[in-house]
């Protein structure tokens, strides 16, 4: 199950093209001190996003699409990522992730993309959004090289047993009937997070975090209380293939 990270890949640009972009960034490295500070702050703030978004073009998609070089990119253009209908609609309407559009999206995702599957309530703080956007427009290989180390599993991972199992999608589909009273199979988030098309590991980790109170939520705690490894692995397998 560890293979998922490389599946899907970052299809928008090949490796060479990605390197070329870095070169351009380095050549134009005429970054003023204040921009540099914004970049550092934005990198810190990006921790709000990185549970779902990878930046390293080598590492593909996660719960959300890879965000490497997102500024100026047309919406919903990462191949192999299962975007919501809402995102595909605004994309065919011509939405491009300019700084302005990104700023509006990050303020209140659901007001820009109706029924988006990005389960993120938005950032009220103008300065924080500006810093994240500054960071995203100046991402350097160092930024994500350092991060992938920091990411590394320290000791036995929560839910490891379930992650090593092959989930049964038929069993998962049955168990999912309990979930879809709240979570929509279409992936729309209208107040309850979208859970379709996730990498299985992230899904399993999330459920174990509710089970073990790493994440605190009474409803999800209750729901996961009588789900074992096999149930959780099966749910992860079923939901990961929805919306793809």
Give Dmax (Cα) for the chain: 57
Classify each residue of 197-233 as buried b or exposed e, where b means 16 or more C-beta atoms within 10 Å of its C-beta.
bbbbbbbbbbbbbbbeeeeeeeebeebbeebebbbbb
Binder among 51, 72, 166, 190 for ligand HEC (CB under 6 A): 51
- Of these partners, another protein, ligand HEC, none, which one is at the site of residue 225 (CB under 5 to 8 Å by kind)? another protein
**240 touching ligand HEC, by CB under 6 A:** no
CB of 140 or CB of 221, closer to another protein: 221
CB of 113 or CB of 163, closer to ligand HEC: 113
Long-range contacts (CB closer than 8 Å, 24 or more residues apart) made by 34-40: 35/134, 35/138, 38/130, 38/131, 38/134, 38/135, 39/131, 39/134, 39/135, 39/138
**31 touching ligand HEC, by CB under 6 A:** no
**147 touching ligand HEC, by CB under 6 A:** no
CA–CA distances in Å: residue 167 to residues 18, 28, 51, 194, 234: 35, 48, 23, 20, 4
**Cα–Cα dist 190/115, whole Å:** 6
Note the residues at the interface with another protein (CB under 8 A): 170-171, 174-175, 177-178, 180-186, 188-192, 218-219, 221-223, 225-226, 228-231
Taking CB under 6 A as the rule, which mask of x and - marks residues 169-208 in contact with ligand HEC? ------x--xx-xxx--------xx-x-------x--xx-
Instruction: List residues bridging with 96 in a β-sheet.
Output: 74
- Of these partners, ligand HEC, another protein, none, which one is at the site of residue 218 (CB under 5 to 8 Å by kind)? another protein
Residues that bind ligand HEC (CB under 6 A): 48-49, 51-53, 63-65, 67, 70, 75-78, 83-84, 86-87, 97, 102, 106, 113, 116-120, 132, 175, 178-179, 181-183, 192-193, 195, 203, 206-207, 215, 217, 219-220, 223, 235
């Amino acid at each position: 199950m560890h293979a998922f990270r490389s599946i899907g890949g970052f299809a928008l640009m090949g490796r060479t093209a990605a390197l070329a972009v870095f070169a351009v960034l380095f050549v134009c490295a005429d970054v003023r001190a204040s921009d540099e500070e914004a970049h550092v702050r934005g990198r810190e703030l990006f921790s709000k996003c990185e549970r779902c978004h990878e930046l390293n073009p080598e590492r593909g998609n996660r719960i959300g699409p890879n965000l490497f070089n997102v500024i100026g990119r047309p919406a919903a253009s990462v191949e192999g990522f299962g975007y919501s209908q809402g995102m595909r609609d605004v994309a065919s309407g011509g939405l491009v992730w300019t700084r302005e559009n990104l700023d509006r999206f990050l303020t209140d995702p659901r007001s820009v993309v109706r029924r988006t599957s990005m389960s993120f309530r938005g950032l009220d703080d103008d300065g924080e959004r500006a810093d994240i956007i500054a960071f995203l427009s100046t991402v350097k290989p160092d930024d994500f090289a350092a991060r992938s180390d920091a990411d590394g599993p320290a000791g036995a991972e929560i839910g490891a047993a379930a992650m090593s199992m092959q989930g049964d999608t038929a069993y998962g589909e049955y168990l999912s009937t309990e979930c879809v009273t709240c979570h929509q199979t279409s992936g729309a988030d209208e107040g309850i997070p979208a859970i379709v098309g996730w990498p299985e590991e992230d899904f399993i980790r999330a459920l174990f975090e509710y089970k073990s109170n790493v994440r605190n939520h009474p409803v999800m705690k209750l729901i996961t209380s009588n789900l074992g490894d096999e149930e959780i692995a099966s749910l992860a397998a079923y939901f990961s293939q929805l919306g793809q």
